[in-house]
Structure 1
Amino acid sequence: MMFLGTKQTTMATPALVLAFVISAVVHHTSATAPSLVTFIFGDSLTEVGNNNYLRYSLARSDFPFYGIDYSNGKPTGRFSNGRTIGDIISEKLGIPSPPPYLSLNPTDDAILKGVNYASGGAGILNDTGLYFIQRLSFDDQIDYFENTTKVIKAKVGEQAANKLLNDAIYFIGMGSNDYVNNFLQPFLPDGQQYTHDEFLALLHLKLAEQFTRLYVLGARKMIFHGLGPLGCIPSQRAKSTTNQCLHQVNEWVLEFNSKVKKLVNVLNYRLKNVQLTFADTYQDVLDLINDPSKYGFKVSDTSCCRVDTAVGGLCLSYAHVCTNRKEYVFWDAFHPSDAANAILADRFFAKLFPVAAGAAQNGSAPKH
């Protein structure tokens, strides 16, 4: 989940990343300004439509009522009633939200401005979300990014391509599905085969390999979004007889975040010129859930689309949708509402890019 925590030691943004973003935000209207390029890797929290192009994927949101509060009121492939946090961050950075990779012609010039590879059901592990039949795992997304780097080099030459790739910002949000649609599912083997410590070690090893591969392909400025309190999302609360957050799940999430923070520190030390940032997501999300009225919400323990215990937990066409969507933190059993995304994007942007946030205070993401 793309939400931000409060620990300054983990939120200290590398100076070059911050300087580049500030420059892009303050001067993005100038013809001579540097063009900010973003590449987005993730799951359904940041997908903008890749799975629509996967014929057999069961992880889709191309049906009502998704997109009901988007610009044209129609489904866009986003797992929300409106925007993702990634959309809102792009607005604040003064750039278009990158298009889904699978919507592009392989040689489309649009790839020079950034691409979104995110896919609903995706995980760090390749077997995560297996029952969705088709989805782009993190490895799959990196494969497509490798194809992108080759096309960019063919278009602008090796030197210019390397500069573009080195200067780009890479937003990565992975891991939620490795729990919700893998380890926490009793009918899947990983939850039976591994203890949590063993499973966490597996995630850690794979993620280190994936960060390193992105680095080899040219990524230098990478921001990894830690997990929020998954034990408090509606699909997990539904497992509690009293509709409470699942404490054990949240404890495992905290262990995951701690492990990834250490990995980020190690890679920043070992990889030349890399600028990896861990964006701690946990506490702000928990605060929004525990004290929704503080942010103008009324409901945080169930979803606007009444699907908490339904198979899949998605807002299908026969679902009952609340009319007061801005009062709900969650849209469906897994995903925040557009209104919640706006709040969380504001907090994310202000903490990760504090100077840029001041320059972009007239950004289009609404205050709730």
Structure 2
Amino acid sequence: MKLTLSLAIIVTVLAITIDGYSCKIVQFIFGDSLSDVGNNEYLTNSLARASLPWYGIDFGNGMPNGRFTNGRTVADIIGDKIGLPRPPAFLDPTLNADIILQNGVNFASGGGGILNETGSLFIQRFCMYKQIELFQGVQDLVTAKIGPTAARKFFQEAHYVVALGSNDFINNYLMPVYADSWTYNDQTFMNYLMETLGAQLTLLHSLGARQLMAFGLGPMGCIPLQRVLSTSNACQEKTNKLALSFNNAGNNLLNELSSSLSNASFKFGDAYDVVNQLIKNPYKYGFNNSDSPCCSFGRIRPALTCIPASTLCKDRSKYVFWDEYHPSDSANELVANELIKKLGFLNAPSPSPAIAPSSEGA
């Protein structure tokens, strides 16, 4: 009897100690330049960096912060609206176990893709498998801090965002300098992508991911960089069809994994239609330009990135695209709101916004 009572007391104390550890629900973000919040700033040899003015002009102090836009990313906005903290970049030198437990981590890297070979022309970037490897290191750090039982609970209750795929086309399959462009056709390349993504998401599940959202692709044939390829400034329909095919295959994959993996709630966020409508009829959504970048180098196109000598549009809130690749803060907000609506997220009290978007040119 005494032994039983003693064991009961020990188990109760352990349970209180484990469950009593204050762990917040946080996000772990895997992605490319659409979600990067500074990792590439620490990759000194990377050619994909948002380190020059005027990146970040509408965020915080207006200085470049690693985001490839003038303000927030889609992941920033969704997290804010559902009450989750903004995770810092994995390579932020201040990152430690306590910060991870309070804020999560963002592993996104400009130029990265689902495939290891994607974006190799940028020299340094984190592909998806590398990002998962870094996540495993984060798990070891947290487990050493709070113990395996509490760590398992922490990682299973976290939210996971995967936002990759556009570079696998624009900076791989659609560029003849990459072997994938002549090794595969449209269908076999899509099969290769989905097989790889499926293995990656299954691996994340084995590491604790239970609530996961994967972003779909927008009409990437309509980004300014693609329009430049046409003498009429038209969208590249072949590229848009690839995006639609990716979204269809990705949605099927997420549904399949949600059904087959234990306790998995994997959702696919597809905002293609609303972005397509925004590009076709910007005035309906309060924009007045959807075919050229706000930050540009005059008639020299494409300049690819903003540079100190670039000219900014008069009203940044009216432009869909910030540079040749990336949407503006205003467009990102529209996309985020569409994904929140489609995925049925409940709006929770948001933390104080980190930016106050300006409508005046700098």
TM-score, normalised relative to structure 1: 0.86
The partner residue of 2:328 within 314, 324, 337 is 337
Q: Residue 317 of structure 2 corresponds to which residue in structure 1?
A: 326
Aligned equivalents of 1:214, 1:138: Cα separation in 2:
11
Aligned equivalents of 1:202, 1:125: Cα separation in 2:
9
Aligned equivalents of 1:132, 1:318: Cα separation in 2:
22
Aligned equivalents of 2:320, 2:228: Cα separation in 1:
16
The partner residue of 2:44 within 55, 73, 76 is 55
Q: Is residue 79 of structure 1 aligned with residue 68 of structure 2?
A: yes
Aligned equivalents of 2:289, 2:234: Cα separation in 1:
14
Q: Residue 35 of structure 2 corresponds to which residue in structure 1?
A: 46
Aligned equivalents of 1:179, 1:131: Cα separation in 2:
14
1:13-40 superposed Cα distances (whole Å, 9 cap, x missing partner): xxxxxxxxxxxxxxxxxxx997321111
How much does 1:104 deviate? 4.0
Question: Aligned letter for 1:36?
Answer: I
Query: Contact between 1:225 and 1:279, CA under 8 Å: does it hold in 2?
Result: yes
Q: Residue 189 of structure 2 corresponds to which residue in structure 1?
A: 199
Q: Residue 170 of structure 1 corresponds to which residue in structure 2?
A: 160
Q: Which runs of 5+ in 1 are unaligned?
A: 1-31
Structure 1 consecutive aligned stretches of length 4 or more whose deviation exceeds 6 Å: 365-368
Fraction of identical pairs, as percent: 44
Larger relative contact order (CA 8 Å, sep ≥ 6): 1
Q: Is residue 213 of structure 1 aligned with residue 203 of structure 2?
A: yes
Aligned equivalents of 1:255, 1:309: Cα separation in 2:
32
Q: Residue 293 of structure 1 corresponds to which residue in structure 2?
A: 283
How much does 1:106 deviate? 6.2
Q: Which runs of 5+ in 2 are unaligned?
A: 1-20
Question: Aligned letter for 2:282?
Answer: P
Aligned equivalents of 1:246, 1:190: Cα separation in 2:
20
How much does 1:237 deviate? 0.9
Q: Is residue 121 of structure 1 aligned with residue 111 of structure 2?
A: yes
Query: Contact between 2:302 and 2:324, CA under 8 Å: does it hold in 1?
Result: no
Equivalences, count: 336
Q: Relative to 1, partners in 2 of residues 1:85 and 1:106: Cα closer, same or farther, differing over 3 Å?
A: closer
Q: Relative to 1, partners in 2 of residues 1:214 and 1:254: Cα closer, same or farther, differing over 3 Å?
A: same
Q: Is residue 96 of structure 1 aligned with residue 82 of structure 2?
A: no
Q: Relative to 1, partners in 2 of residues 1:327 and 1:265: Cα closer, same or farther, differing over 3 Å?
A: same
Aligned equivalents of 2:301, 2:128: Cα separation in 1:
27
Aligned equivalents of 1:334, 1:170: Cα separation in 2:
24
How much does 1:310 deviate? 4.0
Aligned equivalents of 1:40, 1:281: Cα separation in 2:
18
1:175-209 superposed Cα distances (whole Å, 9 cap, x missing partner): 01001111111222211221111111110111011
Structure-to-structure mapping, 1:1-368, within 5 angstroms: 35-104=24-93, 107-113=96-102, 114-306=104-296, 310=301, 313-354=304-345, 356-357=346-347, 359-360=348-349, 364=353
Aligned equivalents of 1:334, 1:86: Cα separation in 2:
17
Query: Contact between 1:92 and 1:363, CA under 8 Å: does it hold in 2?
Result: no
- Which structure: larger Rg? 2
1:297-337 superposed Cα distances (whole Å, 9 cap, x missing partner): 10001111125964661112222221211110000011011
Query: Contact between 1:231 and 1:250, CA under 8 Å: does it hold in 2?
Result: yes
Query: Contact between 1:342 and 1:366, CA under 8 Å: does it hold in 2?
Result: no
Q: Relative to 1, partners in 2 of residues 1:349 and 1:269: Cα closer, same or farther, differing over 3 Å?
A: closer
How much does 1:161 deviate? 0.6
Query: Contact between 1:300 and 1:329, CA under 8 Å: does it hold in 2?
Result: yes
Q: Relative to 1, partners in 2 of residues 1:196 and 1:288: Cα closer, same or farther, differing over 3 Å?
A: same
How much does 1:287 deviate? 1.3
TM-score, normalised relative to structure 2: 0.87
Query: Contact between 2:37 and 2:65, CA under 8 Å: does it hold in 1?
Result: yes
Aligned equivalents of 2:351, 2:30: Cα separation in 1:
27
